[in-house]
């Protein structure tokens, strides 16, 4: 059986604001000269995403989403600014595609008659076992 691939939502580059910033951590002699890290900002409310995807994205409990509904992603793992930009866009698309499909609604079900009988039988057996654990009267009476 073939599985359906999840729909990939494309994000228009015009909706994303990219800014070069300085990387953190040790970097040798170039650390204070180059801005190779990329900070990506994506305003969810102003985007062209479908409304359901926007709602699910804003409902996520993710530290990268601000209270104003702006997704901020910082990529600094590569030495090249272009590679960091691609990495940040990949992570943004991954985040958006994680909520692309609406979760299936749960339909409540009722336990079957047989399962209820098995449960009550097990409770009765357990009750008998526990009742037999009482204090033993050794007075001979």
Give the rounded distance of the alpha carbon of 57 from its chain centre. 10
- Phi, psi angle pair for 30, to nearest 5°: -90, 0
For residue 10, give the nearest of 35, 63, 47 by alpha carbon. 47
How far is it, in rounded angstroms, from Cα 40 to Cα 88?
Answer: 7
pTM value surpassing 0.75: no
13-97 to CATH, choices 3.30.499.10, 1.10.10.1100, 3.30.160.20, 3.40.50.720: 3.30.160.20
How far is it, in rounded angstroms, from Cα 116 to Cα 19?
Answer: 61
The 10s digit of each residue's pLDDT in 45-104 is 888 888 988 999 999 888 999 999 899 999 988 888 899 999 999 999 999 998 888 889
How far is it, in rounded angstroms, from Cα 39 to Cα 37?
Answer: 7
């Amino acid at each position: 059986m073939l599985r359906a691939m999840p729909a990939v939502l494309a994000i228009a580059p015009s909706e994303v604001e990219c800014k070069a910033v300085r990387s953190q951590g040790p970097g040798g002699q170039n650390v204070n000269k180059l801005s190779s890290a990329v900070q990506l900002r994506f305003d969810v409310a102003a985007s062209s995403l479908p409304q359901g995807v926007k709602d699910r994205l804003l409902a996520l409990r993710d530290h990268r989403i601000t209270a104003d509904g702006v997704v901020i992603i910082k990529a600094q793992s590569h030495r090249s600014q272009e590679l960091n930009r691609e990495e940040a866009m990949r992570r943004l698309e991954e985040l958006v595609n994680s909520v692309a499909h609406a979760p299936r609604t749960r339909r409540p079900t009722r336990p079957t008659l047989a399962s209820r009988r098995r449960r009550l039988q097990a409770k009765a057996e357990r009750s008998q076992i526990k009742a037999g654990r009482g204090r033993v009267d050794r007075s001979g009476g």
